[in-house]
Amino acid sequence: MKSERSYPIYKVNKKAEASLVGGHPWVYENDILEFPETEPENGTLADVVSPKGAYLGTGFVSLKSKIRVRLISRNANDTFDASFWRRRVEYAWAYRKTVLEPADLSACRVIFGEADQFPGLTVDRFNNILVTQTLSVGMEKLKPVLFPLLAEVLRADGQTIDGIYERNDEALRAKEGLEQSKGWFELPGENHPASTQTEICENGVYYHVDFENGQKTGFFLDQKYNRRAVARLAAGHTVLDCFTHTGSFALNAASGGAARVTAADISADAIAMAQRNAERNGLTNMDFLCEDTFELLPRLEKEGHPYDFIILDPPAFTKARRTVENAMRGYKEINYRAMKLLPRGGYLATASCSHFATEELFIKMLRSAAKDAHRQLRQIEVRQQAPDHPILWGVPETNYLKFFLFQVI
C-alpha cells in the first residue's frame, strides 16, 4: 500500500477482512471497527483496511445504507479518473464480445453490477439504446463521467447507440438515499430519440421492447440460451408457457416447430405484448390466455388438457431471506401441478430467478414435488443465466438464476 493516501479510512473486523479477501466487495456498517475522524461525503471514495491496517481495497461510501463501502479496486496504485473507468467499460465490452455470439451483442447485458466491478449499476443494450439502472450512490455520482464513456466505447467498436435511458424507478434506491425517477440521460451535445420503444432480435425471434414501462429495464435478457434450449426440444409438442410475460419462451417454442403453444399470464398487458410479438414473427401456432397460473394448473388438471411440454418461469417469489419458506411453497405448488398434468414422457422446463431460492433449496423442492406427484424426473439440462450476466465467485448475489429441463417418466 502506498505510504500516502488521500482517502478516508475504514478499519474493519476479521470477519469483514475474510469476506473481502475471499472476493466479496461489500463492507457492512456493523463490521467496521474504526470510522474516519471526519465523515466523508456520501458517494465518495474511501480506503478499507484490516484490523492490523493492511490495505484491502478502495470503494464508494454509502452513508445511508447498511452496506457502508462497495469496493471498486483492490490495487492501491489505481487512479480513479476517466481513463480508469474507460478501461473498465472496455474490459466489460470485450468480455461480452468473447463469450457471446456476434448476433447476440445487439441485445445483451453490458454491465452486471459487482460482477463487472461497477457496484450497483446495470446496463442493458436493446439494439440502439442503452438502458441503465443505478442502485448505489457512488455510481449515481459517477454518471456524468461514466455514461458518456459507455456510448463512446461502444460507438468506437462500430455499434450504433442513439441514446441512454435511465430506469431508476426502483424502490431499492431508497436504501441509498436516492429518489426514484426515469427518463433520458442527456449525452453532451446530443439529442435523444423521441420514442421510448425499440425492437430487438434474440435467437432469431423479434421482440418489441418498451424500455420506459416494461419490467426492470424493459426485457429479461438472462434466459436467452435457455429459451434456445426450449426451442430445440419443442418441435411437434403441445406447449404451455406459464408466466409468459412478453412471450419469450412461448415464441421460441413456436418458432422451434411446436404443434401448438399456449402463452399464459395473469397480466392482460403482458398478454397483449406477447400477442404483438407473435404477430411480428408471423407465428400462427399460438394462442393466449390471461389467467393466474396458480388457478390455471388445477383447472387444467380437473378439465383435461393437451399439453406435453410445460414451461414455468415465474417472477421472483422472494426477494428477502425471511420470505424464503413461503416462496418455496409457491414453487412447489406450481411444479407439483405441472408434473401431475404432464403425461409420462412429457417435458418440464422450470426456473427460479430469486437469489434467495438457492439451487440447493430449488432441487430439494423439485424432488419433493416429484415424489408427491408420483413422477420420476429425467434430467436433460441444468443451466444458469447467460454469460453476459457473469457469476462472480465470492459474490453469491451474482448467481441467481436456476433453470432445469426434465423429461417426466
* Residue 263 in grid coordinates: 402463452
Question: How far apart are the C-alpha atoms of 174 and 147, rounded to whole Å?
Answer: 22
- 169 and 183 in contact (C-beta within 8 Å)? no
Question: How far apart are the C-alpha atoms of 204 and 286, rounded to whole Å?
Answer: 17
DSSP state, residue 359: H
- Where on the phi/psi map is residue 292: left (φ > 0), alpha (ψ -120 to 50), or beta? beta
Question: How far apart are the C-alpha atoms of 385 and 371, rounded to whole Å?
Answer: 27
The residue annotated as part of the active site, out of 108, 201, 242, 353, is 353
The H-or-E segment that residue 381 falls in is strand 377-383
Question: 299: how many CB neighbours lie within 10 A of its CB?
Answer: 12
Taking each helix axis from N to C end, the angle separating 324-341 and 359-372, rounded to the nearest 10 degrees, works out to 40
Question: How far apart are the C-alpha atoms of 216 and 362, rounded to whole Å?
Answer: 24
353 catalytic per annotation = yes
Question: How far apart are the C-alpha atoms of 10 and 7, rounded to whole Å?
Answer: 10
Question: How far apart are the C-alpha atoms of 151 and 161, rounded to whole Å?
Answer: 6
- 384 and 402 in contact (C-beta within 8 Å)? yes
List, in sequence order, the alpha helices (H) in 192-292. 224-234, 248-255, 268-280
The H-or-E segment that residue 18 falls in is helix 14-21
**Residues 6 or more apart from 194 whose CB is under 8 A from it?**
none
Shortest CA distance to 211 belongs to which of 259, 177, 262, 246? 246
Distances (CA, A) of 205 to 208, 224, 370: 10, 11, 33
Tell me the catalytic residues.
353
